[in-house]
Amino acid sequence: MGKDKLRRFAEITAFENVIELEDGKVLKGRWAEQHFKNNNPLILELGCGKGEYTVNLAKLFPEINFIWIEYKGNRIWRGAKTAIEENISNVAFLRIQIENLLDYFSENEVSVIWITFPDPQPQISREKKRLTSARFLDMYKKVLKTKGPIHLKTDSDLLYIFTLAKIKELGLVTHISTADLYKSPFADEILSIKTYYEKKYLANDKNINYLKFSFE
């Protein structure tokens, strides 16, 4: 591991907006009251990047609590550092594996879930690891409030098609579906937030897929 990564791992242990592994379990069901010290709604972001989506959403909606979930400490460092430097207090960074989501959040605790540019896991053998596979959707259903939406932004046409098929298979509700977000009428201020990776895809003229769906 390089010196920069080691330094960043050491730094995030002192960041008040970073919660790592076991430390987050005691906040299950009490994130708003215990960590954020309020009763505001809670939104999760799952996926890949450097926390840009969560940080920018937190700026737009100071009355909402945001948590970005990522396991790689180097990625968490960038988002957490930005939030500290810009004095954004309604955002936290939880360092866990997404597979363990139910150990950290109670039923009906989450209002919205964003999945932004996750690894599409293109191999058939890794289909169950896709963040919109049935096992993950079952987790989301447990922690989401009734009719709480899931947003998916992805450059992967495969993941987009897979998720559409899964929505149909499980009888979920599709609210918005587009295979080319920036050529659609849906690219508002929120959906136009661009992550580091999204900017790279757009620079190569890659279409961005977007889905908004819910369980009811």
**Strand locations in the chain (E):** 18-20, 42-47, 65-69, 91-95, 112-116, 150-154, 173-178, 209-214
Q: Does the annotation mark 119 as catalytic?
A: yes
**pTM over the 0.85 mark:** yes
Residue 2: what pLDDT?
67
178, pLDDT greater than 90: yes
Distance between CA atoms of residues 174 and 23, nearest Å: 36
| The two three-digit tokens of residue 168, written as one number | 């149909």
Residue 151: what pLDDT?
98
Provide the CATH number for the domain around residue 92: 3.40.50.150
The domain tally of the chain equals: 1
Residue 74: what pLDDT?
79
| The two three-digit tokens of residue 157, written as one number | 């046409």
Whether 189 contacts 124, CB under 8 Å: no
User: Above pLDDT 90, what percent of the chain?
Assistant: 84
Q: Which of 4, 23, 103, 119 is catalytic?
A: 119
Distance between CA atoms of residues 29 and 31, nearest Å: 6
Reported as a single tens digit per residue, the pLDDT across 80-116 is 999 999 999 999 999 999 999 999 999 999 999 999 9
Reported as a single tens digit per residue, the pLDDT across 37-90 is 999 999 999 977 788 899 999 999 999 999 999 988 778 888 999 999 999 999
Query: Residue 87 is part of which domain span?
Result: 3-214
Amino acid occupying residue 195:
T
Whether 139 contacts 176, CB under 8 Å: no
